[in-house]
Amino acid sequence: MHHKRLRTSKGLTFRAQHVTNLRRRYAIDGHTRAKLEATHTYSARQAAQIFGVSQRTIESWLSSGLLRGTQVTTGAPWRIEITPADRERLCPQDVPAHWVTLKRAAHALGVTQQTVLNKLKRGELEGVRVPVGARSAWRICLDSSACDKQPTLFV
């Protein structure tokens, strides 16, 4: 609440004690660092450090479904679950040379880039993030069987 510059009913800034009292009064669960670390759940800042991306990218991945996370309420801190599979898929790493960019995958499959991202999210395509200069980008595995699964345009 302090980060959002919200004020108490008396116009004071929120302090830890105010938040603690509100949580106790309305039976809102809090969190501790020990709980977060024990369950492999991370804050958005911690997730950004793990993946080497910005917090904004983490929030984008959450909204698109590439990562799973929860909030007690809108504006509350994220609790992001990061599995070993998420680390393999989203941490920048080297991949085989025949894996293609997002744009090439969309062109090869005859779909939009967003459709390719949706297929990655659903696990229909295999892809990983790789370093490209100061940024990272998708590399996607397109074997011939993936193209065979696409509906034909002409009969």
Q: Mean per-residue pLDDT for 104-112?
A: 93
User: Would you state the structure tokens that stand for residue 76, as one six-digit string?
Assistant: 């509350």
Task: Tell me the pairing of strands 135-141 and 41-42.
Answer: unpaired
| List of E strands, 15-142 | 41-42, 68-70, 79-81, 100-101, 126-132, 135-141
pLDDT score of 105 more than 80: yes
pLDDT at site 74: 81
| Domain 31-83, architecture per CATH | Orthogonal Bundle (1.10)
Q: What is the pLDDT of residue 11?
A: 83
> From the centroid of its chain, how far is CA 4?
22
Running DSSP on this structure, what letter comes out for residue 112?
-
- Indicate the pLDDT class of residue 151, thresholds 50, 70 and 90: low
The string of pLDDT tens digits covering residues 8-66 is 788 888 777 877 887 788 887 765 554 545 457 899 999 988 887 889 989 888 888 88
Residues 105, 143: contact at Cβ < 8 Å? no
pLDDT for the residue numbered 103: 93
CA dist 145 and 72 (Å) reads 42
Give 17: exposed, middle or buried? Use CB within 10 Å, 0-12, 13-18, 19+. exposed
pLDDT at residue 32, as a whole number: 57
In whole numbers, what is the pLDDT of the chain averaged over residues? Answer: 79
DSSP E strands in 25-142: the ranges are 41-42, 68-70, 79-81, 100-101, 126-132, 135-141
Annotated domain spans of the chain: 1-30, 31-83, 92-155
Highest average pLDDT, of 2-11, 57-66, 92-101, 106-115, comes from 106-115
Give dist(CA 150, CA 10) in Å, integer: 61
